[in-house]
Amino acid sequence: MVREERKNLGEVQFTDKLWALTVPLGRWHKDKFGNMDKKIQCFEEEIRKIDEMAENGVYDGTVEARRKTLVSYCKQWYVRKEIQWKQMSHFRHAKDMDKNTRYFYNLASARWRNNIIDALIINGRLIRNQARIKIAIRAFYKNLYHQERSPVVGFRNGLVNRIDEEESVALERIPTMEEIRDAIWDCESSKAPGSDGYNMNFIKKCWDEIGAEFMKLYWISFSHQGCLLIPILLGWPLHLSTLDPRRSKTSGRSAWSVAYTK
């Protein structure tokens, strides 16, 4: 379905194709998964009928195989329902977050009132003045975490391992398609970048269709914007994953990476 819809869109930008695909994909999702509760109820009803047959002594290998098949299908739909609940929970949280601002503000205010220090004993005297309490607390922790000045050691002092020019060039090269694909496959499939965005499962399932265009956009953004152009164009928040992990040959530790983080 994705292949046919993409052909009908013609030569348009990759991001425009993704936005245009939301309409047919929405219809497809409604046709396939729109009646989850009804389908689960039908499977449970069939399983109940088989259990009643078994109680009446009508039970053989065929009936047992049918029951196992129904239980397997029912379990699959329960898993899909659970994933849908999780995604809807994230969607509603993002959608209703502004509506609940006043509620959470009241909670924070109540927590602040409960945690406020009304009085403090300073040098044997009970102090209730908030300004003096703040000054005393600030002075206490300033003295607690005070540290004497120490000599600053720089990279040129020879105490820190440095990579050579060859490793530096290797770390700055444009990542290959295999490296980016492996990083995408490490992402959680049920995670969606936005309330109306594509989840990572779509990217994985349709990689053969959209992988080339996805990588083309990535390489453009890598060379111009340091990998941050893709999530901006797609409306994605910066929370995908580390897309380019690489390691130093000498130390074995990660020397550089480009990561999408919150």
Query: Is the distance from CB of 121 to CB of 211 less than 8 angstroms?
Result: no
Q: What angle do CA 24, 29, 34 make, to 5 degrees?
A: 135
Q: What DSSP assignment string belongs to 40-80? A: HHHHHHHHHHHHHHHHTT---HHHHHHHHHHHHHHHHHHHH
Least confident of 113-117, 208-212, 226-230: 226-230
Average pLDDT of every residue of the chain: 71
Question: Token pair 């969606």 is at which residue?
Answer: 192
pLDDT tens digits, residue range 39-61?
A: 888 888 888 888 887 777 777 77
Query: Is the distance from CB of 230 to CB of 216 less than 8 angstroms?
Result: no
Cα–Cα distances (Å) from 55 to 72, 217, 251, in that order, read: 21, 62, 68
pTM for this prediction: 0.37
pLDDT tens digits, residue range 132-157?
A: 888 888 888 888 887 777 776 666 65
Cα–Cα distances (Å) from 52 to 10, 45, 57, 61, 251, in that order, read: 56, 11, 9, 16, 67
Q: What sign results for the dihedral spanned by CA atoms 39, 43, 48, 49? A: positive
Q: Shortest CA distance to 260 belongs to which of 220, 228, 234?
A: 228
Per-residue pLDDT, 261: 36
Per-residue pLDDT, 255: 36
Locate 254 and state its tokens: 């990660």
Per-residue pLDDT, 262: 35
Q: Per-domain residue ranges for the chain? A: 36-96, 103-144, 173-256
Per-residue pLDDT, 63: 80
Percent of the chain with pLDDT over 90: 0
For the residues 199-220, what does the mean pLDDT come to?
A: 80
